[in-house]
A and B are shown apart, each in its own frame.
Chain A
Amino acid sequence: MSGALVEAPPAADARAQGVPAREAEPATRVRGYWGNVWQRLRYDYATLFFLFVILLIVASAVFAPLLSPFDPNKASMAHRLKPLFYHDNILGTDEQGRDILSRILYGGRTSLLMGIVPVVAATFVGGLFGVVAGYAGGRLNTIIMRSMDVFFAFPSVLLAVAISGSLGGGMVNQLITLTVVLTPPLCRVAETSASQIRSMDFVDAARASGASTVSILLHHVLVNVVSPVLVYASTLVSASILLASGLSFLGLGVSPPTPDWGLMLSTLREAIYVRPIVCAMPGVAILLTSIAFNLVSDGLRQAMDVKA
């Protein structure tokens, strides 16, 4: 290592001479907001652990083809409803003789998709409307927020069932439904935060410098709205997974041969008298995933120092 230090590249040399001495002084260690967040997260071992769990779940879903002992859709009449640790079917088989473990691994893809895509979509849509409403204030705010209030007049499960029940099942419909359900709460969080920022003097200072509204939104409002919105969005991932699995359980999710945790629970329900433990397995996957996301989002909230 010391050798490398001696052979400093000539460019650095020239700079060291050309710049006044004060520039060469080591700058004080300064961490921005995100640096602080990371510092706090680094020592929050519980959150890191569950972050790791999430990574495992994601990895097992992504690498499902490599990890699965069987083809998740290969039925076998001879091996229907086998118990745990039945030969290579570690978690048993379902009512069509398909391997439960393989189906759970593949099912993770649907569940994670349903947990993350609608939240991201709703964060964009709700965030956009919320920031616009909060920043514009006045009549535009009233129009946007009162429309959102109408959606708050539905309990989220009911709203999901209403939309999904009318649209019908299928993956795309489920994604649309969940996005619609998650947008109003995100919009409200973004609006509250944006309208607080709006009243801060630094926004007026930016206006006083002649900046355009777009520039102010980008440089001054968004950067401040991002953390409460992200924290809130992270709490919604678990909610979205639960809602999605609920819809699938009701037959409003992906269509049958596709592995999906909610759907598996629904079809296995017939067999609880035969193989109770096996039938409960997909739910364990949902529960684990949901707990991991909930705890990580709690840790994130603390690290980002956002009031609940």
Chain B
Amino acid sequence: MWLYAARRLLMTIPIGLGVTVICFALIYLAPGDPVQSLLPPDATAKDVAELKHAYGLDKPIPVQYLIWLGHALTGNLGRSIQTNQPVLDEVTRALANTIPIAVISVILAFVIALGLGILAATRVGGILDRLATGVAVLGISVPQFWLGVILVIAFAVELGWLPATGMGSSGSEHFSWFKWSEAKYAVMPIIALTMTPLGILMRTTRSSIAEMLALDFIQTLRAKGLSNAAIVIHAIRNALPQILAMFGLQLGYLIGGSILVETVFTWPGTGFLLNKAILTRDIPLLQGTILVLAMAFVLINLVVDLLQTAVDPRIKRA
């Protein structure tokens, strides 16, 4: 197991490097001169020269990459063209707003998917089973941003129960999860975010529970008179490692893919930041945010894999 863990750790290094290469390449994907895209339009010739020197932009591309990597590894992701703030600061501030809604959403999705999945499995073909199937199809088919719009229409425009956008009157600085007047701003983003992982999880839970109930040893247990509920619990315990893996993956997807929902609700997280970077063509901000998010995804996957090794006695080899 330790060998596996060490190997898994080692494997993360080339992947992390690959991620930095892609992020670095983003500047070159952007049309026009990279120097121009890294600076505000009104930059002086002196600014240009300074930047060129700082990033070695007059040097061959591999050298540029190494210089950039050196900066990135020490936390220097450049400055936002718009705000002139260090990109890292902007991203960490935004991340602090994204992580809570992502975590809550994934947990919600899990609770509902498992609960509904188990109930559905006890009576295949029943109403609950159909509901579960419907949720599964809907969850993977619905465009998140449209769901967001629908939620706004329903709960903000028509019913007026919840605020349509933003993160509270006092801004994100004083946001508190423990005051309803503030926390209610997070309700709709969370619902919108929950839907996709819910659909995916619903689907997997349903099929894997059905598959498991058909397994030989489960049949034996059943023949011995074990109740359905007990069997399902047994099955879930068996599936714990996979559940864990799914959890990590979905969490990563939400943290990295929150851009649409955050845009709809102007929730000031990383997704919103990305959107801002796109609209203003703030390439350093875009690049830095993407790098941080991708690295977070890599890290989450690493942690989940390691946890999975710890829980699952079967994983011994690569």
A286 partner, pick from B138, B146, B281, B294, beta carbons under 8 A: B146
**Does A187 sit within 8 A of B, measured CB to CB?**
no
Asked, given contacts A150-B21, A250-B263, whether A290 binds B141 with beta carbons under 8 Å apart, the answer is yes
**Does B257 sit within 8 A of A, measured CB to CB?**
yes
Asked if B29 contacts A308 (CB within 8 A), the reply is no
CA distance A262 to B279 in the complex (A): 16
Asked if A163 contacts B142 (CB within 8 A), the reply is no
**Does A67 sit within 8 A of B, measured CB to CB?**
no
Asked if B298 contacts A153 (CB within 8 A), the reply is yes
* Total interface residues in chain A, CB < 8 Å: 44
Among B115-123, B148-156, B222-230, the one that faces the other chain is B148-156
CA distance A151 to B290 in the complex (A): 13
**Does B243 sit within 8 A of A, measured CB to CB?**
no
Asked if B146 contacts A165 (CB within 8 A), the reply is no
Asked if A280 contacts B30 (CB within 8 A), the reply is no
Q: Which residues does chain B contribute within 8 Å of A280, judged by CB atoms?
A: 146, 149-150, 153
User: Please, which residue of chain B has its CB at the minimum distance from the CB of A241?
Assistant: B143
Size band of the B side of the interface? 35 or more
**Does A55 sit within 8 A of B, measured CB to CB?**
no
Asked if A250 contacts B286 (CB within 8 A), the reply is no
User: Please, which residue of chain B has its CB at the minimum distance from the CB of A266?
Assistant: B145
Asked if A167 contacts B256 (CB within 8 A), the reply is no
List residues of A (148-171) whose CB comes within 8 Å of B's CBs.
149-151, 153-158, 161-163, 165-168
User: Please, which residue of chain B has its CB at the minimum distance from the CB of A274?
Assistant: B157
Q: Which residues does chain B contribute within 8 Å of A308, judged by CB atoms?
A: 207
Residues in B lying within 8 Å of A, measured CB to CB:
14-16, 18-19, 21-23, 26-27, 29-31, 137-138, 140-146, 149-150, 152-153, 157-158, 207, 252-253, 255-257, 259-260, 263-264, 274-275, 277-279, 281, 283, 286-287, 290, 293-294, 297-298, 301
Which 5 A-B pairs give the minimum distances between C-beta atoms?
A150-B18, A283-B146, A157-B257, A155-B256, A166-B29
Give me 27 A-to-B residue pairs in the complex whose CB atoms sit less than 8 angstroms apart, sorted by A's number. A149-B15, A150-B19, A150-B22, A151-B22, A153-B18, A153-B294, A153-B301, A154-B19, A154-B297, A155-B256, A157-B259, A158-B290, A161-B274, A165-B278, A166-B26, A166-B29, A166-B283, A242-B143, A249-B145, A265-B145, A265-B149, A272-B152, A276-B153, A277-B153, A279-B153, A287-B142, A295-B137
